[in-house]
Structure formats: structure tokens, C-alpha cells
Chain A
């Protein structure tokens, strides 16, 4: 079974530019999550999709970030315009259908996209 994949693995852009990150979850996983880890800090939750619907986007830092999951399969996270403080590693994770942690073995993470804004 293929794992969670993310593209690109690295992205270097200039301040003010736009970047779109992509996440392909494990096939059949309804839940998809975005996280990010800025330098020296802990991983922080950004948002959670259940299929194509945003279940919780309380972690999105501001309106420069837009996440979509059309059709409930892959997801994109767009940063427009990018700022220096957006640099970090953006992780995507997916998990099976189910509303409670007790029914799940845990989220499966992708390898992350390292974003550098210069």
C-alpha cells in the first residue's frame, strides 16, 4: 500500500510569490490533515478535511493560506503571497474513516514539503 505522498519535497521561493503544495493521502482515507513545523518549533495543526469538507481550519494562520480538497482525494495548500515567516516543513497526514481516535491506529504522515521563503 502506498503511503502519503507530498509534492514538491523542497520549494524555494521569494517573498511575495505564490506556492502550491500537494498532498496525496493513502487511498480510501477520508481524513486529511495539514500541519507545519517552523524552524525550532513544534509541529502545529493547520486544518482537517473529512472527504472534501473542511472539518476544522482553526490552525490556519491567516487568509494567505488556502487549502482545498476537490473530490475528496488529493489536497492542495496554497500560500499567496508568501512571507518569510512561512518557511518551514509542511506535513500532510491521512487516516481512515472514523470519528474517534479509539478506532484509529493513528495518522500516517507524509514526508513533508520543506518551504523556504527568501
Chain B
């Protein structure tokens, strides 16, 4: 079966660093995506990892370990606008993007 786990909720302080973990077990793997979704809005693409290691993009970084079925999204210098849900999604095959989504982590950034 397909299974992706994320913490349901996290809270952090403005200016701090937060790490959102994602573990997955899927039949097939062709990349892991992170999306940000503000309430009532479309999920927006943040990052993509297909090889092990860290991908850095500004204040956001994403890490992948394929052998461990594990990824994390690291947010630095948190801002109030970073309060949102963060979705981990695994692409299962090579010929499309049949995503399996995690339940999402709701992050609240406090002043």
C-alpha cells in the first residue's frame, strides 16, 4: 500500500527554524515534492528531491534519504506568512506524476 506520514501540527516562533518531517512507503518512487498550501488556496510547489541529499532554495531546504524513506523540509528565519499547511507528496512512476500525498502538517508561526 501507499503510506505517507507527517506530523499533524507544529508551532514555531517568528525568526526561528523549523523542520517538518515526512516518512513514506510507496510502491515505486520517482521523486518527492513539498507543497505549501494556505487555507482556501491552491497548493504551491516548494521543492523537489529525487536524489539523496539536501536541496537549498532561499529560506527553504529539503532533504531526502531514499534508503530510509525519509524527507524533511527546513524553514529558516520564519515569518508570519509561513503559517500554512505543508504537504509532502511522492511521485510513484516515471511516466506521469501519480502523486501520493501525505496528510499535511499545519504550521503556525507565532510572534
Q: Residues of A at under 8 Å CB distance from B? A: 3-4, 31, 33, 35, 41-45, 48, 50, 55-56, 58-59, 91, 95, 99-102, 104-112
A56 to B94, CA, bound (A): 13
A59 to B101, CA, bound (A): 13
Q: Residues of B at under 8 Å CB distance from A? A: 4, 30-31, 33, 35, 40-45, 48, 50, 87, 89, 91, 94-104
Q: Are A31 and B96 in contact (CB under 8 A)?
A: yes
Q: Is the interface of B mostly helix, strand, loop or mixed?
A: loop
A106: chain B residues within 8 A (beta carbon): 33, 35, 45, 48
Q: Are A42 and B103 in contact (CB under 8 A)?
A: yes
B40: chain A residues within 8 A (beta carbon): 111
Q: Are B45 and A100 in contact (CB under 8 A)?
A: no
A105 to B45, CA, bound (A): 8
Q: Of all chain A residues, which has the CB nearest B33?
A: A106
Q: Which of the listed residues B41, B98, B99 has the most CB atoms from chain A within 10 Å of its own CB?
A: B99
Please name 8 further chain A to chain B contacts, defined as beta carbons within 8 Å, in addition to the given A43-B89, A50-B96, A55-B96, sorted by A numbering.
Answer: A4-B42, A42-B101, A43-B87, A44-B101, A48-B98, A95-B97, A106-B35, A111-B41
Q: In the complex, which of the residues A4, A31, A43 contacts B101, with contact meaning CB atoms closer than 8 Å? A: A43
Q: Of all chain A residues, which has the CB nearest B87?
A: A43
Q: Are B42 and A112 in contact (CB under 8 A)?
A: yes
For the complex formed, measure the closest distance between the CB of B51 and the CB atoms of chain A, giving whole angstroms.
9
A110 to B63, CA, bound (A): 26
Q: Are B50 and A101 in contact (CB under 8 A)?
A: yes
For the complex formed, measure the closest distance between the CB of B20 and the CB atoms of chain A, giving whole angstroms.
15
Q: Are B45 and A108 in contact (CB under 8 A)?
A: yes
- 17 pairs of residues in contact across A and B, judged by CB atoms under 8 Å: A42-B101, A42-B103, A43-B87, A43-B89, A45-B99, A48-B97, A48-B98, A50-B96, A55-B95, A101-B97, A102-B31, A106-B35, A107-B97, A107-B99, A109-B35, A109-B42, A111-B41
Q: Are A3 and B42 in contact (CB under 8 A)?
A: yes
